[in-house]
Amino acid sequence: MTSIKIKFRPSALKDREGTIYYQVIQNRRVRRFNTGYHIYKDEWDERIGIVLCSNSNSPRYEYLCSIKRDIQYEIKRFENLVEEMENKDYSINELMSLCRDEPLSKNGVFEYLGKQIERLRSLGRIRSCEAMQSTLHSFRKFRGEIDISFTKLDKDVIEQYEAYLRNRGLSRNTTSFYMRNFRSAYRTAVEEGITNDVHPFCKVYTGVDKTTKRAITIDDIRRIKYLNTSNRPALDFAKDILLFSFYTRGMSFVDMAYLRKKDIANGYITYYRKKTGQQLSVELVPDILDIISKYHNETQYLLPLILVENGTERKQYRNQMMKINRNLKKIGKMINLSVPLSTYVARHAWATIARDKGISLSVISKGLGHDSEITTQIYLDSLQNSKIDKANRLILSDL
C-alpha cells in the first residue's frame, strides 16, 4: 500500500516562510521530498492539508493559487504512477526517483500560458492577451484544473482537448481559434528551449472555414435609416451607431469607441485602426455630422460609448457592444432581415455595395484599411484620399 500526503513545516524563525513537502509512505516506510514551495504559517490549513488562497485581494493570491494547482497536479501524477506500477515489484526509492523526474514547477503549461498573458498585456496587445486568457480558461476547464507539463503535452492530449470543445457544441472555427492561440504559445515555448517540438497540433483543425456572408443591401441600409425608433432610445442609439459605421466606410466598433473629439479637423476624422495601427481619414459628410451633433459626451471621446475615464474603458466599450448588438438584432427582426444584424454587418455592407457599384477593389481595400496583402497595399499607398471620399459619397447618395 502506497500513499502520499502534503505536509507543511513552519520556519523556526518568526515571520519567515515555512516549507511544503510531500510525505510518501509504502509498507510503513516513509520518505519525504521538498516541493520547492515556501509559504507562511497562516497560508496553510493544517486541518485538511491545503494551501489557502481565498483572499483575492492579497498580493500573494496568484502565487498561492499557482502553488495549489501545482500540488494538485503532482498528487494526481503520483496516483497515476502508483496505478501504473500496481502489478510491479518496486521499492519506495524507485518510486521517489520517478516522482522527481519531472518537477511541474518548471514545466507547467498553465503557468507558462499565464506568463504569456502577462507578456502580451505588457506589450499593449490587449486583444491577443484576451484571446490567450480565453484559451487558458478553456484548457483549464478541460483539464479539470489539473495542470500538465510540456513533456506530457502530445498530440493525443490536444486531440482530446479538441474533442472536448466539439462535444460542448463549438463550431470548427471556434475550436480552431483556441488551437491557434495555444499553438502560438507552444511555438514560443519551443523557441525558448522549454520543450522540444513534438508537433502536438498536427492532427487538429487550425484553419478558418468560410462563413455565410453577413452583407446587406443598400435597400436594407435605407430601411434601417428611415425606421422610426424615436420612441425607443436604446434602439435609436444602436441604429445610429450602425449607420455611423456604414457612413465611415465600415469603421469597427472598437475604433468608433475610441474616437476622440480632437480626431476631427479640417473636415475629416483621422484615426489609427486599433487592429493594425494604420492611419485612416474619413470625410465628414452631413450624415456623419448629424449623428455626432445628436450625442453629447463628457469625456474626450466623440461618441457616448465610453462614458467614464477610470481605467475600465475596454470593459465599458465591450459591454456597450453587446448591448448594441442585442438591439440591432431586434431592429433586424423589425424589418425582416435575413441575416442577424450587428455592428460588423456595416463593414461587410459597405464593401459589398461598393463592389456592386463598380468601385475598384483597390479603392475598397484602401477605404477599409486592409493591409493583409502586402503587394496590394504597396499599390494602395499611392491612392489619394479624394478617390476614397468620392467612393463614399457615391454610396451615400443612394440613401
Q: What is the pLDDT of residue 220?
A: 93
Helix (H/G/I), strand (E/B), else coil: 26: strand
More confident residue, 382 or 398: 398
| Domain coordinates in residue numbering, the chain | 2-101, 109-191, 218-396
Q: Would the pLDDT of 314 be above 80?
A: yes
pLDDT tens digits along 180-208 = 999 999 999 999 988 899 999 999 999 87
DSSP 269: E
Q: Which CATH number fits domain 218-396: 1.10.443.10, 3.40.50.720, 1.10.1200.10, 2.30.30.40?
A: 1.10.443.10
Q: Would the pLDDT of 385 be above 70?
A: no
Q: What is the pLDDT of residue 183?
A: 96
The CATH architecture of the domain made up of 109-191 is: Orthogonal Bundle (1.10)
pLDDT tens digits along 131-189 = 999 999 999 988 877 778 888 788 988 998 999 899 888 999 899 999 999 999 999 99
Contacts 24+ apart (CB under 8 A), 136-141: 136/110, 138/165, 138/178, 139/109, 139/110, 139/113, 139/178, 139/182, 140/110
Q: What is the pLDDT of residue 253?
A: 94
Summarize the confidence of residues 323-330 as an average pLDDT: 96
Q: How far apart are CA 90 and CA 330, in angstroms?
A: 68
- Interhelix angle 126-142/109-122, nearest 10 degrees: 170
More confident residue, 261 or 396: 261
Query: Which residue's C-alpha cell is 448629424?
Result: 290
Q: Would the pLDDT of 360 be above 90?
A: no
Q: Would the pLDDT of 101 be above 60?
A: no
More confident residue, 62 or 316: 316
